[in-house]
Amino acid sequence: MRLLLVLLLAVAAFNVRAHAQSTDTILILDASGSMWGQVDGQTKISAARAAVDTILGKWKPSDRIGLIAYGHRSKGDCKDIELLAPVSTFDPAGIKSAVKALNPKGKTPIADALRMAANTLKSTENKATVVLVSDGIETCVVDPCAVAADLKKAGVGFTAHVVGFDVADPVARGQLQCIARATGGVYLDARNASGLESALGRAVEAAQGAKVQTEAPAKAEPDPFKGKNIRGAVRLAPGLDPVTDPALGWTVFKPNPDGSKGEFVVRFDGSPFANRIDPGDYVMEVEYGQVSKLFSLKVERGKPAVLDVVLDAGYVTSDGSIAGSGAKAEDSTWDMLDSKGEWMATEYRRVPRFILPAGDYTLRLTRGNTKSEKPFSITAGDSINVSLILDAGKLLVSGRYSEAGPKIDNGLSVDVRYLPKTPDEKGEWVATTYDALSKFDLPTGSYDVVVSVGAASRTIRAEVKSGADTRLDVNIDAGVLGLKTGDGKAIEIFKAERDINNERKHIHTGYEPDLNLALNAGSYVVIVEYGPDKKVEKPFTITAGKRATVEVQP
For domain 392-475, the CATH class is mainly beta
- The CA-based angle 250-253-258, given to 5 degrees, is 125
Spatial contact of 486 and 455, defined as CB atoms under 8 Å apart: no
230-310 and 478-551 share one fold: yes
The SS3 assignment for 210 reads: coil
Helix (H) or strand (E) holding 55: helix 44-55
Residue 11, pLDDT score: 31
Task: Please state, in angstroms and rounded to a whole number, the distance separating the CA atoms of residues 122 and 130.
Answer: 12
Sign (positive or negative) of CA dihedral 91, 93, 96, 100: negative
Strand 64-70 to 23-30 pairing: parallel
Q: Is the pLDDT of residue 123 over 70?
A: no
Task: Please state, in angstroms and rounded to a whole number, the distance separating the CA atoms of residues 520 and 493.
Answer: 12
Range picked from 64-68, 145-149, 157-161, 394-398 for highest mean pLDDT = 394-398
> Does the domain spanning 478-551 belong to CATH 2.60.40.1120?
yes
> Does the domain spanning 230-310 belong to CATH 2.60.40?
yes
Residue 321, pLDDT score: 86
Amino acid at 510: G
pLDDT tens readout for residues 505-525? 999 999 988 899 999 999 999
Q: Write the DSSP assignment of 307-369 as a string of letters.
A: EEEE--EEEEEEEEEETTT--B--S-EEEEE-TTS-EEEEE-SSS-EEEEESEEEEEEEEETT
Q: Which CATH superfamily is domain 17-207 in?
A: von Willebrand factor, type A domain (3.40.50.410)
Task: Please state, in angstroms and rounded to a whole number, the distance separating the CA atoms of residues 30 and 66.
Answer: 14
DSSP 35: G
pTM, to two decimals: 0.59
Task: Please state, in angstroms and rounded to a whole number, the distance separating the CA atoms of residues 357 and 51.
Answer: 34
Spatial contact of 148 and 154, defined as CB atoms under 8 Å apart: no
The SS3 assignment for 382 reads: coil
**Where are the chain's structural domains?**
17-207, 230-310, 317-390, 392-475, 478-551
Task: Please state, in angstroms and rounded to a whole number, the distance separating the CA atoms of residues 28 and 238.
Answer: 22
Task: Please state, in angstroms and rounded to a whole number, the distance separating the CA atoms of residues 460 and 160.
Answer: 80
The SS3 assignment for 271 reads: coil
DSSP 123: T
Residue 15, pLDDT score: 38
Using alpha carbons, select from 87, 145, 79 the residue that is nearest to residue 119.
87
pLDDT tens readout for residues 378-391? 999 887 889 899 99
Spatial contact of 60 and 166, defined as CB atoms under 8 Å apart: no
Least confident of 8-12, 197-201, 416-420: 8-12
For domain 317-390, the CATH class is mainly beta
Range picked from 119-123, 193-197, 404-408, 458-462 for highest mean pLDDT = 458-462
Residue 129, pLDDT score: 87
**How far apart, in Å, are the Cα atoms of 307 and each of 60, 144, 212, 246?**
44, 18, 37, 17
Amino acid at 362: T
Show Cβ contacts of residue 280 under 8 Å, excluding neighbours closer than 6 positions.
298, 299
Amino acid at 517: L
pLDDT tens readout for residues 142-185? 788 888 888 888 766 678 999 999 887 777 888 899 899 988 89
